[in-house]
Structure 1
């Protein structure tokens, strides 16, 4: 009886040991190489197959864990942003924007191209197994499908009436950027995963409806019926009518909202890396952590001259806390260009850099989550960090 009892324990210990070894055996750093004039936006890791993916605004890069280039998808004339790897289907999900604000016009000017000036926000779904060589065409080869995010387009194109006149973009929506797969917030069921999509949010200091981050929640189980091949000359509108839920979390204003959204199953928390805002009444942190264990609450926010009822999320009550606003967060200069949980409290975090001739690049370094009053992350290796170029 004693041997029968000990046998399952032995296999549990063996499995946990193998899991830990899988994470700790990942390289301390991986270098992307120089990737053109557009800066890095996000990173995702397929641990099972040994690949890392970088988005560089107008392209997706696939490398093995030694830093060898396997392939790339190029030809985007929009903004390819944050990434996440979905272990359930083995695909890479990324935010993709087409818009006519300063960012969109800047991208097209840099690329020397034009599009039809239509606004469109999508989730791009890449089949990584088909990315087998450099410079594969985003439009001409069967590599990805796109799903239209109508809710974000609607808020982007709406305007609101305020005491200071009409303002464009409801909730100051500038599009979408952060993406992450996670369980239902506040639920004990951690098996079912949903796709969370974070708004970009303009950081104007002369409006007060941009002090919350906005997250949309989607069940992607039936998204095969929506997915369309990318056509940048004729943007499609195939996607869900609305999200399952829409959440608001008060952080104070930021520049362009949540740049990287990551769910860490080890801690049960969302990590949101931003470019800090400029409103002096807020602490303007670079990193916020959303407590996914807490059930969504009910609140009210202003949208123009209206007060609307919304679902709210809670920031983790840890780390530095601003006495005037009650907002908690951390000052941490990295993460907005790549933040990827690895398990066991470890993360890959992007250090972006530009060469003297303007070539963008990234090195992802392994970090350990600390989350105390002094520190958010500590570096897991001893290499010196690169200088943050603070891209838009």
Structure 2
């Protein structure tokens, strides 16, 4: 009898101990979810960085560095905003950024083109536009960025990977309502990018690079009401990357993306400016310059459901309905009655958006000083995601 009672008591004690551990760990997990990341300041200032406004940001939390894209340069600071180094000399458009902690590199979208944006950049730099077309991912070895004004072409600090799919869509001519027009899917190049898992799969550690098209906001077109996002496998990119030569643009890159997705958001102006995968929610955040078609709600912030598998659907291209894979928007925020599109009206995010964990983000606030210099301040926000509020300044 003594042995029986002792065993039973021991069993109950084990159960109580496991319950206590579960309650404690659950409480700590919930507290951790709501806790502001301790090491990160509420704001980080970039300092004055020239004539071009900030395009994107990336944060290396582990090593304490921040990376800013200012169109013609990449800037590296510490978490206090102290300047560590920069990479300069770009005569194209360096856009959105993301940091890859596994490889120790920063990815940036890089455009060379002969449209109004490309011509505006070269004019501001006092150079002649060479009418070159090339869309690349710049891969920065950020451990080598150790001083100011490192030359993008002459120093071994970055490689570039050519995106053939984007060039083909940009240069294509298609029929739009019977009229021949340039740019398939109204592709103006690339801008937003991010690392993330396969859409609809939250298991496994493999991450892919997602690259969003810039899309012309022409209100007379009927083929520019979807965002276009390419997915790339990075396995062979070390071999594909080449030194940047802006007088002789190379074409070393993957033949095709791993996948190509469409997201119905309605018309926007130049597509997704900043794209950010948030591991905390499992979703992709997309900040845009709002569109101008009155038939759409013209939101400036969308959240793409990263947990829902792509759906087979169709879009209009070249006056023909073609089958594509579509991603879904999360069922949250405002909802337009006539189109069913969900999203938010929000001022910030188009010039920098960085998930920090636990529902917190850095959002870039650009500013032009009285002497014409561009600066940026990263402000910490908490994601709210309801109808009345998307982000709230962190307390």
- What is the TM-score with the length of structure 1 in the denominator? 0.93
Aligned to 1:62: 76
| Alpha-carbon distance change, 133 to 109 in structure 1, aligned in 2, over 3 angstroms | same
Aligned to 2:176: 162
Tell me how far apart the structure 2 counterparts of residues 161 and 275 of structure 1 sit (CA, whole Å). 26
Contact kept? 2:303, 2:330, Cα under 8 Å? yes
Local SS of the residue matching 1:23: coil
Contact kept? 1:160, 1:170, Cα under 8 Å? yes
Aligned to 2:290: 276
Aligned to 1:192: 206
Q: CA deviation at 1:147?
A: 0.3
Match of 1:79 among 88, 93, 98: 93
Aligned to 1:337: 351
Are 2:325 and 1:308 equivalent residues in the alignment?
no
Aligned to 2:4: none
Say how many residue pairs are matched. 381
Aligned to 1:388: none
Tell me how far apart the structure 2 counterparts of residues 190 and 106 of structure 1 sit (CA, whole Å). 43
| Alpha-carbon distance change, 15 to 145 in structure 1, aligned in 2, over 3 angstroms | farther
Are 2:162 and 1:143 equivalent residues in the alignment?
no
Tell me how far apart the structure 2 counterparts of residues 339 and 367 of structure 1 sit (CA, whole Å). 10
Q: CA deviation at 1:307?
A: 1.3
- What is the TM-score with the length of structure 2 in the denominator? 0.92
Which structure 2 segments of 5+ residues have no match?
A: 1-9
Q: CA deviation at 1:360?
A: 0.7
Aligned to 2:251: 237
Aligned to 1:377: 391
Aligned to 1:224: 238
Local SS of the residue matching 2:335: coil
Show the 5 A alignment for 1:258-269: 258-269=272-283
| Alpha-carbon distance change, 25 to 339 in structure 1, aligned in 2, over 3 angstroms | same
Which structure 1 segments of 5+ residues have no match?
A: 382-392
Aligned to 1:96: 110
| Alpha-carbon distance change, 137 to 11 in structure 1, aligned in 2, over 3 angstroms | farther
Contact kept? 2:187, 2:213, Cα under 8 Å? yes
Aligned to 2:43: 29
Q: CA deviation at 1:283?
A: 0.3
What are the Cα deviations for residues 13-60 of structure 1, in whole angstroms up to 9, with x where unaligned? 989988987823310000111110001000000001000000000000
- When Rg is computed on C-alpha atoms for both structures, the one with the higher figure is 2
Tell me how far apart the structure 2 counterparts of residues 21 and 323 of structure 1 sit (CA, whole Å). 36
Match of 2:225 among 211, 215, 228: 211
Q: CA deviation at 1:71?
A: 0.3
What are the Cα deviations for residues 344-374 of structure 1, in whole angstroms up to 9, with x where unaligned? 0000000111112211111010000000011
Q: Please identify, of 98-107 and 296-305, the stretch whose mean Cα deviation from structure 2 is larger.
A: 296-305
Tell me how far apart the structure 2 counterparts of residues 255 and 320 of structure 1 sit (CA, whole Å). 20
Match of 2:216 among 199, 202, 208: 202
| Alpha-carbon distance change, 321 to 17 in structure 1, aligned in 2, over 3 angstroms | closer
| Alpha-carbon distance change, 172 to 16 in structure 1, aligned in 2, over 3 angstroms | same
Are 2:193 and 1:171 equivalent residues in the alignment?
no
Q: CA deviation at 1:114?
A: 2.9
